[in-house]
Structure 1
Amino acid sequence: MISDGSDGSDGPFHPLQSTVIDLTEGNIFNFTTITIPEGVKVSFINSFDNVPVYFLATGDIIIDGTLDLRGGIAGAAGPGGYGGGPGGSEGAIGIPGFGPGGGYGGIARHPGGGASYATLGTSTKIDSCLSEILPPTPAVPYLTDLFDGGSGGGGGGGGAYVKGCSGGDGGGAVFLSTPWTIYINGNIIANGANGNNCYTSALCGIRGGPGGGGSGGMIRLAADSIMIESEGTLNCSGGKGGVRSYDGSLTPYGGNGGYGYIVIKSPNIDISGKILGALILNDCIVDFDNDGDIDGADITQMASDLELVCLTYFAVSFGSLY
C-alpha cells in the first residue's frame, strides 16, 4: 500500500450528481475534503491493470450517498478485484475463478465453486443429475499490509451441446484515509457478483453448470476518528451461486462467494451502522465469522494465528459486537 497521506493536490471532491470515475487516468486521489451527498452514487470504470482505489483527504470525509465498488458492473470485477472463471465448452470443465481465493471450476454439467476471501464460500449443491459436490477454496489469511479486491467464482462445466456459465466477479478494494474524521451515514459497497445462471433441460446431459459467486472485496478506513452512523453500511458480501435457469426461478446450485475484509484503523471508533464482512479493528480480528457477535467461533477461525485476535476486546465484548 502507498502512504496514507494526501497532499491535497486534487482539491475538494463534492459531486452533486451520480458520477463515474475512469481509473485508466489514475487510481490515487489526493483530495482536501471528500463529500458524497445523499442520493449521489460514485462508481468506477476499471483500468486495464484493475487497480484498487485510494481516496485520500487532508480534511473530513463524509459519505452520505454511495461509494460503489461492486463486482459485475459493466461485466468487470470491482477495482482491484478479480474476474469470474468462464464456463467450460461442451462437456469440458469450467475455468477456475481468478485471484487467490478464486472458486474451483465445475466438472462437466456441474456448477462452479464459490470464491473465498476473508471467509469461505459455500459448497455447490447436487440433485438427481449432479453427483459431485465442489467445496469452496481456502480463505485468504489477513495480513496487515493486505489490500486486494475479491476473487472470482468458478465457471460451470459444459454439457452436451451446451456451454457452462461464468462465475461472478469479485468485489473491489478501496482505501479512505484522513488525519481528521470519516463520517459514514451512507453506503460503501464492495460486493462480489452473483454467478451466472445456466440452461436447464429435462435431460441431464444437456445442462450447463451455473457459475459460482464472487467473493466480497476490501474496505479500509484510517482516520483520527471514524463514525459509522445508524444508517451507514459497509458491505463486502459475497455473490450468490448461479441457478439452473435463465429466469432465476430454481434453486441456486453454484457455490456462494465468501465475505471480504473490512479494516478500520483509528484510536476513536464509533459503530452503530451495519457491517457486512470480516471486521478487523486496529489489525485485530474481531467478528471474523460475520455472525454479528464475538464468541469462541471467532477465535476458532483464527486458531492458527492467535496473535491476530484481540483477546482483550473479545473478553469485554463477549456475546455482543458493539
Structure 2
Amino acid sequence: MASTTGLCAGRVTVVTGAGRGLGRAHALAFAAEGARIVVNDYGVGPDGSAARRSSGSSGSGPAERVVEEIRAAGGTAVAHTGDIATAEGASSLVATALDAFGRLDTLVNNAGFLRDRMLVNLDEDDWDAVVRVHLKGHFLPLRHAAAHWRAEAGSGRAPAARVVNTSSGAGLLGSVGQGNYSAAKAGILGLTLVAAAELGRYGVQVNALAPAARTRMTEQVFADAMAAPPGDDADAFDAMAPENVSPLVVWLGSAASAGVTGRVFEAEAGRITVMEGWRAGPTADKGARWTPAEAGAAATDLLTAAEPPRPAYGARR
C-alpha cells in the first residue's frame, strides 16, 4: 500500500472490530501510512449474534477480507478472528502481533455491537452482552498490551506505545434506548483516564474517541444521510463516511502525538472537538453540616447559576 506521508512507518497496529465500518477504515488508513496491521474481527452480526461469524483464520470472513484489501494495495496485514472479550482472545491478539511482526506499537480498541432497548424492556442478557463486548472488550486487550509494554520498558526498550479507545456521544451524554451501550461507553472514558495515568511511566499514551459515522451500528440513526446521495459531484464530501474519523485515530496512534494522553475527542465529518469532561461548576460551602432544607436551597441556587446540561440523545427537548 502506497504510503501518503509514512507517519506510521515501522509501527505495528492492532485494530479490533476492523472487519467493517470504522474499524476497517482505521485499518486501511494506518496501512496507508506505513503501519503493519493486525485486523481483528470476530465476524458477528450487528447485535452480536453468531450467524455471520467467520469459521476461522483460514476462512473468508470480514477480517480476512480487509487483510486482502490491504495486501492488494501493497500493505502488510494479518487476520485475528478471536473473541477479544475473553482472556484467551485478548492474549492471542497481542501474541499475533508479536509473532507476525515482532512488536506492538498501537492498539485501537473499536469492537462492539448494539442491543437497543428502553430500560423497562432491557433484559439482563442484553445488558451483559453489550457491556461485555464494549467495556470488557476494551479492558482485556489493553491489559495484555500493557503487560507487554511494561516488560519492554523494564528491559530498557522504552516503547512509544499508543492506545486509542472508542467511546461515543452516548457515553458522554447518554442516549435514549441505549442504557447498556451508554453505560459501557461511559465506562470506557473512565478506563481511558485511569490507563493514561497508570501507563505513562511505561511510555504508553491512552486517549479516547467519540466518533459519529455511518456504520452497521448507526444505519438507523443516519438513515437520512444514507438515503441522500452526495449529488452529481463525484468529489462531494460524504459527511458520514467512517473514513472521515480515521485521520485523527492514525495521528493519535502515531509517534507524532507525543505528549497527548488522557484526552477525549469527538470526531464527525470534518469536525474535531476536544471534550473537557466533568469540571467543577458553581459551589457553596457552609463550613458545617447542612440541613436537608438548607442543602436543597443551596442546590437550587447553584443550579440557577450553572450551565444547563445538554440533553441525552433522543430525549424530548
TM above 0.5, yes or no, is no
Q: Structure 1 or 2: larger helix share?
A: 2
| Structure with more strand by fraction | 1
Higher alpha-carbon Rg? 2
